[in-house]
Amino acid sequence: ESEQRLKEFKKKNKITSLQRESEEILRRITDAEVRYNQTKTQRRATAERLKTVKEKLSINRKKLVPLATDVSSPAYAKLKQVLVELQFQYTGLLVQNYNESHPKLVELKRDIEQIKESLTREALKLVNDESVLDPLSQISLYLNQSVALEVDLETYKAQELALKQILNGYEATLKTLPEKELELASLVRSKDVNEKLFLMLAEKREEARISEAEKIGNLRVIDLAKLPKQPVRPQKTVNLTVGAVIGLLLGFALVFTREFLNKTIKKSEEIEALTSWQVLAVVPKIEISSNGDAENLNNSRDHSPMEADAKRGMLTNYEPTGVAAEAFRVLRTNMQFLNSKHKMKTVLVTSLMAGDGKSTTATNLGISLTKLGMKVLLIDADLRRSTLHKLLSVSKEPGLADVLLNHHTIVSDLIAEDQEREFYDNASESPVWSNIQSLKGHKKDVEPLEENFIEFSQAADGNKNDKLPKLQYRNLLNTSLVECVQATRVKGLKVLTCGKLIENPSEILSTVSFRLLLEEVGKKFDLVLIDSPPLLVVPDSMIMSSLVDGVMVVLEYNKCEQQRLLNAHKFLTKTGANVIGAVLNKVDIQLMYKDKDYYYYG
């Protein structure tokens, strides 16, 4: 703005510059005014700093000690006066364009410094006389700072006063100039002062920035920063390594926790430790495709819709070289060893829960035994959820339920009529007695099934009032068995399916008819395998377990819970069942054995 006004004035009055004498006066005035403004600025800054120190002193002490500004003495006042005079002389020479290295200026500057030191000593002396301070306390530090700032403040005041006097003298000289020249000088002076003041403030600002940047406080450099050769973040190698380690640890922890909480049977040793039952075989999990293999099914095209179930049930026959077939041969061998010590005709095959694989185990064991020339009968005694007819591709009816119901009904009628007849048999002259005597020559032990059985209709011919005696109850059973026992695709293997569904399976299995049936089929076949319902679901297996020669328990790998196994062991012990062993079924071979080719040997 001052530059613009100077330019307009010169253009309007057609004046380019001042006279030489006027220029010199103007230069000195400008220099003095710039120095005056600088000194004034520094004085104000020092006054503010002194004010801050005093405030800190007032906070740290309720009763302030006398400061240098609050005390005075003749010596102190005299030193201040001398300082003002020296500053006036020093500033006057500077304005007259003396170089700071001039001897006069050097001497004056030295005298000024000595006066400042004297002022400091005098101020401290006055303060120390008035108060006793701890030199190590914070108050002592603030007090020393206030004294130093007070001396600086007095110095700036002296400079400011001297410069003001010089400016007044030059301004009086400047007023003697002509009016136009005076106005031009005033504009030039204003422009130069503003320019130098701006430069001075800019320089001070930069100095303040540098000082602020240099402050490190109570910090110290431990190590110098170096230019990195690669990005600090992300540290891919470290992150991947840490992630992998954490992942492995979490994986191990998860596996350990699952194994610790998993109370299912996974090893044959666990079965033996919990129940003392020997493990007869470990059967792998059987994977069968839903469509089956026609070539493996005896090259026949007349298969029923149940071929997938049939292939699983007759796996030993269709795939004799497979891993599962080998496991069933191991089971067969162990059964032979047991049978050589204790002759067994009837074996109950059961499990703890549905889906453990007892039906598949019974079927494939029966097929394996027929390979040795044995005659084997499979009985589906699971009258609630029958399975054997699907596995062997035979008809479901007629079957076990039909045999037992028919026989039990007829026998019940005969027993009722026999009891009624006994009332009349007390008399020896009874006509019925002679008929009974005529039957004494009959053979008591009747051959089972097709051989030497007597038809009910034939035995009842002649006298309608005559009924069959008790020794012929077995003949009725043989007749029904001939009609219900079915042949299978495997030579030597026959099956008695469950037959029609009935409402009371437990009651019908508890009748004498079922006991007689077991005796009859035991005479006809080398071994009878009975597929029964799960032990812990219905009481049917508990009833049958005391009627057979041995009980085989099928357990599913990694599903059978230890507590359930203990419960089953407790129930079978109470019934007095002869448990010949257990079969661990559906085993994942690759998890149980490190060498998955273990079963393929040979």
Is there a contact between 210 and 203 (Cβ–Cβ < 8 Å)?
no
Q: Give backbone dihedrals phi and psi of 215, rounded to 5 degrees, phi first.
A: -75, 125
CA distance 3 to 219: 48
493 pairs with which residues across the strands? Answer: 376
| Beta carbons of 187 and 5 less than 8 angstroms apart | yes
For residue range 477-487, what is the model confidence (pLDDT) as tens digits?
666 677 788 99
pLDDT value of residue 298: 37
Residue 15 has pLDDT above 80, yes or no: no
pLDDT at 544: 92
Please give the pLDDT value at position 65: 44
What is the bridge-based pairing of β-strands 493-496 and 486-487? antiparallel
Alpha-carbon gap, residue 448 to 473, rounded angstroms: 12
Q: Tokens standing for 506? A: 């437990």
Q: Is the pTM of this model over 0.85?
A: no
Cα 163 to Cα 88: distance, rounded to the nearest angstrom: 7
- pLDDT for res 578: 93
Render pLDDT for 212-259 as a digit per residue (tens, 0 to 9): 666 555 566 677 777 777 777 777 888 889 999 999 999 888 888 777
Mean pLDDT computed over 444-466: 35
pLDDT band (50, 70, 90) for residue 446: very low
Q: pLDDT at position 200, please?
A: 73
Asked whether residue 402 carries a pLDDT value surpassing 70, the answer given is: yes
State the virtual CA torsion across 457, 459, 460, 463 in degrees, nearest 10.
150
Whether 38 shows a pLDDT value over 60: the answer reads yes
Cα–Cα distance, 318 to 395 (Å, whole number): 21
Beta-bridge partners for 345: none
Q: Is 295 exposed, middle or buried (0-12, 13-18, 19+ CB in 10 A)?
A: exposed
Q: Quick one: pLDDT at residue 308? A: 57
Kindly state the average pLDDT of the residues 45-67.
Answer: 68
Q: Are 520 and 400 in contact (CB under 8 A)?
A: no
Instruction: Give the separation between CA 60 and CA 58, rounded to whole angstroms.
Output: 6
Candidates 559, 471, 487, 481; CA nearest to 523 is 481
In the prediction, which pLDDT does 30 show? 74
Give 431 or 551, the one with higher predicted confidence.
551
CB distance 196 to 34 below 8 Å: yes
pLDDT by residue (tens digit) across 291-345? Answer: 444 333 333 444 444 565 666 667 777 777 778 888 899 999 999 998 887 789 9
**CA pair distance 354, 533, nearest whole angstrom:** 8
Which domains are delineated in the chain? 2-206 (no CATH), 270-422+444-600 (3.40.50.300)
Sign, CA dihedral 307-310-312-314, equals: negative
Residue 224 CB neighbour total at 10 angstroms: 5
Across 44-48, 67-71, 103-107, least confident range: 67-71
- Please determine, for residue 28, whether its predicted confidence score (pLDDT) is greater than 70: yes
Under DSSP, the state recorded for 503 is: S
User: What mean pLDDT is reported for the chain?
Assistant: 72
Instruction: Tell which phi-psi region holds residue 544, choosing left (phi > 0), alpha (psi between -120 and 50) or beta.
Output: alpha
Quick one: average pLDDT of 507-517?
85
Non-local CB neighbours of 165 within 8 Å, separated by 6+ positions: 88
Q: What is the pLDDT of residues 145-172, one digit of tens each?
A: 777 777 777 777 887 888 788 777 777 7
pLDDT number for residue 471: 43
- Give the CA dihedral 573, 575, 577, 582, nearest 10 degrees: -50
Q: What is the pLDDT of residue 153?
A: 78
CA distance 394 to 430: 51
Integer Cα distance of 268 and 156 in angstroms: 103
pLDDT of residue 531: 93
DSSP annotation of 13 reads H
Kindly report the three-state secondary structure assignment for every residue of 395-421. CCCCCHHHHHHHHHHHHHHHHHHHHHH
Q: Is 597 helix (H, G, I), strand (E, B) or coil?
A: coil
The Cα 314–Cα 339 span in angstroms is 23
Neighbouring residues of 152: CB distance < 8 A, sequence distance ≥ 6: 46
Q: 132 in the Ramachandran plot: left (φ > 0), alpha (ψ -120 to 50) or beta?
A: beta
Quick check: 178 pLDDT over 60? no
Average pLDDT over residues 400-409: 79
pLDDT at site 530 = 94
Residue 116 has pLDDT above 80, yes or no: no
Residue 456: per-residue pLDDT = 31
Residue 29: per-residue pLDDT? 74
The pLDDT of residue 349 is above 90: yes
- The percentage of the chain sitting over the pLDDT mark of 70, rounded to a whole number, equals 65
How many residues make up the chain in this entry? 602
